[in-house]
Structure 1
Amino acid sequence: MDENTDQRDAKPGRIGMTYWLIATVVRAANRVFARREWQGGHHLPVAGGYITVINHNSYVDAFAYGHFQYDSGKPPHFFVKASLFKVPVLGAALRATGQIPVERRSTRAADSLRAAYEAVRSGECVAIYPEGTLTRDPELWPGPPKTGAARLALMTRAPVIPVAQWGAHELVPPYARGGRRVRLRPRPTLVVHAGPPVDLSDLYDAGLTVPVLREASSRIMDAVVTLLEDIRGEKRPSGYGT
């Protein structure tokens, strides 16, 4: 296990009791079922709100990244499908931990971006999967980014921290890859690496036009993929992202 020593142990009084209880269970499960390799925690800002952008290759990778992020002392607030807020118990937990409901393809879709904006401006961490969904790539490289993370970043001008994760797909493969649904042995290593903030400063006053959002999205995803290349020890496929 390789964990950053600079990360601060979260306390219930700062986080909220519900979040603390859920995180305690998740952290214990991660320790039982997997090894951990955390790096780059020093890139997470100590003060002020910020945005993290993460690749998505398993239904359970949020627990790996969430563990890493929670240990920094500032828990993540994810975008979550609005329908899940209607599920008994789960919905109550999502609301209690400040997760952000998303209603895609509806007139209320902008509400989630507004809520995320307010969260960042109030000093919270908002975590975003730039792809918007699990990767469809057979080799698990991230798919094309959507523009939501870029839009939020340019609106708030908050730091954007790229994060790459690997290993959760060994526990639960995306779309039951290879016919496996859950694999507990051998114990996988959950790898989470954070990098330095993505520089978008030259785009702040350029307006939220389609070309600007695409450029910002490209920079954000490139930073994530660069970290993922380091984790995997291999380069992205030829022609990737073109």
Structure 2
Amino acid sequence: MSPRSDGDGLEARRASATDVTTGLPVPGRRWRRGELNTAFRIVASIVIPTFRFSARYHWHGPNRLPAEGAFVLAPNHFTNIDPLVVGTAVYLSRRAPRFLAKASLFKVPVVGKLMSGMGQIPVERSGRTRLSDPLGGGRSLVEQGGAIIVYPEGTLTRDPDLWPMRGKTGAARIALENDVPLVPMAHWGTQHIMARYGKKLRLFPPSRVDVVVGDPIDLSAYRGRPIDQQTLLQVTEVLMSRITALLEELRGEPAPATRWDPAANNQKETGRFE
């Protein structure tokens, strides 16, 4: 299915909780006290006007992000500005976007202080966090009823055509261990603002960015089962299939029959490969 026309996009945004183009809330949602703190408002005052200038968001279908309570949001990942795109959409849905982020970012002056203030979760490349294990920070946030954004691919996709590649099990583990919704998401168009591994922003003319949030994955079949590697791989495969299907909807074309596997293509799991 190809992206909807502007008229359809407007209708979809009216059905969603928040109009991402205007930022105006639709009645029925409430602010979550304490989530959108000063650090979030400082960053939002810079990021959101920039993206309103450089991007034209188009929602496909209703905004399915839970209005309250904990959940794990799992988007596709193909440019370094994806967190700003996804974070803007979540923020305007009146939930605080929090990510598992590279620990090195927390050492950058000003940026590091803002990220800490917003409650972002540092993850060392070696797999260690301030809470002593790679997923501890995510579990801690979920236990507090927060929303956490986890990129199941772990890094920018290696697929030559920017399709989702093989997934890792972190998002599935956090959702299963904490019995919270696992929500797939896809977006398309940010590559026109910044290329994969690019360093320059193309802010004008504005680029179209399509966004779709899928229904939470039905995890009932996995409840009560041991959360072992087999279970995690099964849930991760379902998750990656759902994300890929959402992206097919946005791009209006089928994904490759076989999902890209870095190991099978002699590529490193981290860092640039181009």
| TM-score exceeds 0.5 | yes
Query: Shift in Å at residue 13 of structure 1?
Result: 6.0
Report if aligned partners of 2:128, 2:134 keep a CA contact under 8 Å in 1: no
The yes-or-no answer on 1:191 pairing with 2:210 is yes
The yes-or-no answer on 1:163 pairing with 2:163 is no
- Equivalent position SS for 1:91: helix
Supply the AA of the counterpart residue of 1:7.
A
Report if aligned partners of 1:85, 1:101 keep a CA contact under 8 Å in 2: yes
Query: Shift in Å at residue 194 of structure 1?
Result: 0.3
Q: Larger deviation: 18-27 or 212-221?
A: 18-27
Question: For 2:119 and 2:144, how far apart are their aligned partners in 1?
Answer: 13
Report if aligned partners of 1:34, 1:187 keep a CA contact under 8 Å in 2: yes
Tell me the equivalent position of 1:21.
42
Query: Shift in Å at residue 239 of structure 1?
Result: 2.9
Q: Larger deviation: 195-204 or 48-57?
A: 195-204
Query: Shift in Å at residue 209 of structure 1?
Result: 1.3
RMSD: 2.2
Tell me the equivalent position of 2:105.
84
**Residues 171 and 107 of structure 1: CA distance in aligned 2, closer, same or farther (over 3 Å):** closer
Structure 1 residues 182-206: Cα deviation after superposition (integer angstroms, max 9, x where no partner): 4334421111110100112211222
Query: Shift in Å at residue 7 of structure 1?
Result: 2.2
Tell me the equivalent position of 1:139.
161
1:1-242 alignment, distance < 5 Å: 2=9, 4-5=13-14, 6-8=16-18, 9=25, 14=34, 15-106=36-127, 108=129, 110-176=132-198, 181-240=200-259
Supply the AA of the counterpart residue of 1:29.
T
Q: Larger deviation: 141-150 or 203-212?
A: 203-212
Supply the AA of the counterpart residue of 1:52.
L
Q: Larger deviation: 226-235 or 13-22?
A: 13-22
- Equivalent position SS for 1:132: coil
Question: For 1:184 and 1:174, how far apart are their aligned partners in 2?
Answer: 16
Question: For 1:107 and 1:174, how far apart are their aligned partners in 2?
Answer: 26
Report if aligned partners of 1:11, 1:20 keep a CA contact under 8 Å in 2: no
Supply the AA of the counterpart residue of 2:183.
I
Q: Judging by fraction of residues, say which structure has more helix.
A: 1
Q: Larger deviation: 56-65 or 35-44?
A: 35-44
Query: Shift in Å at residue 221 of structure 1?
Result: 0.9
Question: For 1:150 and 1:12, how far apart are their aligned partners in 2?
Answer: 25
Question: For 2:119 and 2:37, how far apart are their aligned partners in 1?
Answer: 10
Supply the AA of the counterpart residue of 1:86.
K
Q: Structure 1 vs Structure 2: percent identity of aligned residues?
A: 35
Question: For 1:97 and 1:84, how far apart are their aligned partners in 2?
Answer: 13
Report if aligned partners of 2:165, 2:259 keep a CA contact under 8 Å in 1: no
Equivalent residues, number: 239
Structure 2's unaligned 5+ residue stretches are: 1-5, 19-24, 262-274
**Residues 159 and 106 of structure 1: CA distance in aligned 2, closer, same or farther (over 3 Å):** closer
Query: Shift in Å at residue 129 of structure 1?
Result: 0.6
- Equivalent position SS for 2:148: strand
TM-score, normalising length from structure 1? 0.90
**Residues 110 and 164 of structure 1: CA distance in aligned 2, closer, same or farther (over 3 Å):** farther
Structure 1 residues 68-114: Cα deviation after superposition (integer angstroms, max 9, x where no partner): 11111112110111122122111100100010010232555853412
Question: For 1:224 and 1:157, how far apart are their aligned partners in 2?
Answer: 20
